[in-house]
Amino acid sequence: MNETDTDPQPFWERIGPYSSSRNKLALAMFVVLLLSYVLNAADRQLFSIVATDARADLDLSVAEIGLATTFFTLGMGLAALPTGYLLARVKRKTVVLLGLAIFSAAIVVTAYAQGLADLLLYRFILGVGESMQLTALLAIATTYFVKYRVTAASSLNFTFGIGALIGPNIGGLLLDAHDWRVTLISFGLSGIPIFILVFFLAKTWFTEHIPGAAGALDSQLIDEDEGESAPTVAEEQGASSIFEPAPLLLAGATVFTGLAIYGYLGLYPTYLQEQLNFSGSAAGFAVSLFGLGAMLSLVGGWLGDKFDYRIVLAVALVIAAIAGYLLFTPISALPVQAILSFIYGSTASGGGYAVLSGGIIKSLKPSLADRGSGLFITALYFPAAFAGYLLGTLADAFGWNIAGFIQITIFLILAAALALTAKTKVVSPDVK
């Protein structure tokens, strides 16, 4: 049989450094890890659905509940870079499990908040756990699937989309049937079976893989579960530090993107319920379409790997800027709001978030994936902690329409401009 008669090389044989059977196992384990991230995403989206009831129960202002909805991102931002350095010393699997346990417990205790101070504390702790998990998952994905780092990183945002889709809908139904406290407790306890699955099914030869030194296979990882040795892949060119221009410019774009995305996630349901008189379930449906749009992250990641990811970013963010502005205009028809929310999710999250997460890591040497993922999460989530408060303050001062224009439209255009100026030193592994 000649070469033209053979079947195309399967995807799993092209994306990893091992045999096809081992890659199939790796993909299966990655799916298990992604399942844990679905819960992470659902927990994140849930509080904005219960925010109106929590605000009334705890006697908080719009700006205060806006701060609470996004305050978990402060924990994510502060924990990300230290976690990136921690991953050089502690197993990634251990960090994933620890993060999962922390944020699941935090969402349960949030149900027992009595005021703004303890509510913010619990939301902060939740963010620390989610940051630990996400930083480790990004490192796992982008060091094993090293040739397809943007696609691998975007797969996490794809599963975020699943969580963002089911979280608000299930949360809205629970909220209609129970109170906001029972809704939070139910989601928090669902972390127990996910923890058990990850503990038993994710093997260390996959989660702890480290790329080797440039041009040599001089670094090998011993498989603790099977006693085998797994060869690593040659390292590509890229920035040698997170403080070089390309990763820093992309981090700046991430800051503005995070403020735009989390301003929307934090107060869009409140806007729908308090300004347009939507029910909790209707608001949950509208915001869940953002999650459906985020599920296009795999398309965004593929485009980011195939073409210049800076151009992909700029186009996606400009479209998101337009859709985001329209979301905070007095359009009271649920179908129109749902469509706009989908467009915003597919461009701001499926395009912007997904390509930025992989782009920052792609701008660095593969051996710096841990720190690159920490830089991305810090840049995204640290300023996003104040996104809801900022949007609420702008809405109180200027109205929702102008607030949305400032925090979403202008910020996303600035992010697109920064992304276009970032020039990386990355060489495609397929270029000889």
**Per-residue pLDDT at 411 exceeds 90:** yes
Of 4-8, 20-24, 152-156, 333-337, the least confident: 4-8
Note whether residue 15 is domain-resident: no
In the numeric block, the tokens 């590509």 are attached to 236
Mean pLDDT value of segment 177-192: 85
For residue 242, the 8-state DSSP code is T
Range of the domain at 141: 23-212+225-421
Spatial distance between the Cα atoms of 254 and 346, rounded to a whole number of angstroms = 16
In the numeric block, the tokens 């109205």 are attached to 399
Q: Specify the pLDDT at position 424.
A: 59
> Which tokens go with 245?
């221009």
**CA 110, 111, 115: angle at the middle one, nearest 5?**
70
Largest CA distance in the chain: 75
**Per-residue pLDDT at 178 exceeds 60:** yes
Spatial distance between the Cα atoms of 32 and 254, rounded to a whole number of angstroms = 27
**Per-residue pLDDT at 114 exceeds 70:** yes
Note whether residue 219 is domain-resident: no
Note whether residue 18 is domain-resident: no
What distances in angstroms separate CA 47 from CA 73, 119, 266, 280, one per listed residue?
13, 11, 8, 12
Q: Specify the pLDDT at position 146.
A: 67
Confidence label for 227 from pLDDT (cuts 50, 70 and 90) = very low
Note whether residue 1 is domain-resident: no
Spatial distance between the Cα atoms of 411 and 261, rounded to a whole number of angstroms = 10
**Per-residue pLDDT at 48 exceeds 90:** no
Annotate 169-228 with DSSP letters as a single string. Answer: HHHHHHHHHS-HHHHHHHHHHTHHHHHHHHHHH--HHHHT-----TT----EEE-TTT--
| CATH number of the CATH domain containing 140 | 1.20.1250.20
Note whether residue 7 is domain-resident: no
Percentage above 90 pLDDT, the chain: 21
In the numeric block, the tokens 């629970």 are attached to 174
Q: Specify the pLDDT at position 318.
A: 95
> Which tokens go with 32?
């298990």
The whole-chain average pLDDT of the chain stands at 80
Taking alpha carbons only, the member of 187, 259, 189 closest to residue 42 is 187
Note whether residue 8 is domain-resident: no
**Per-residue pLDDT at 59 exceeds 60:** yes
**Which positions ≥6 away from 147 have C-beta within 8 Å?**
14, 15, 233, 429, 430
Spatial distance between the Cα atoms of 5 and 401, rounded to a whole number of angstroms = 60
Of 15-19, 360-364, 385-389, the least confident: 15-19
Confidence label for 349 from pLDDT (cuts 50, 70 and 90) = confident
> Which tokens go with 408?
């979403």
Structure pTM?
0.68
Number of domains into which the chain is organized:
1
Spatial distance between the Cα atoms of 155 and 152, rounded to a whole number of angstroms = 5
**Per-residue pLDDT at 236 exceeds 60:** no
Of 91-100, 230-239, 285-294, the least confident: 230-239
Confidence label for 154 from pLDDT (cuts 50, 70 and 90) = confident
pLDDT tens-digit readout, 372-384: 777 888 888 888 8
Q: How many CB atoms lie within 10 A of CB 330?
A: 8
Q: Specify the pLDDT at position 20.
A: 66
Note whether residue 17 is domain-resident: no
Q: How many CB atoms lie within 10 A of CB 97?
A: 20
Note whether residue 359 is domain-resident: yes
**Per-residue pLDDT at 371 exceeds 80:** no
Annotate 372-425 with DSSP letters as a single string. Answer: HHHHHHHHHHHHHTTHHHHHHHHHHHH-HHHHHIIIIIIHHHHHHHHHHH----
What three-state secondary structure class fits 230?
strand
Q: Specify the pLDDT at position 37.
A: 86
Taking alpha carbons only, the member of 176, 186, 352 closest to residue 262 is 352
Q: Specify the pLDDT at position 317.
A: 94
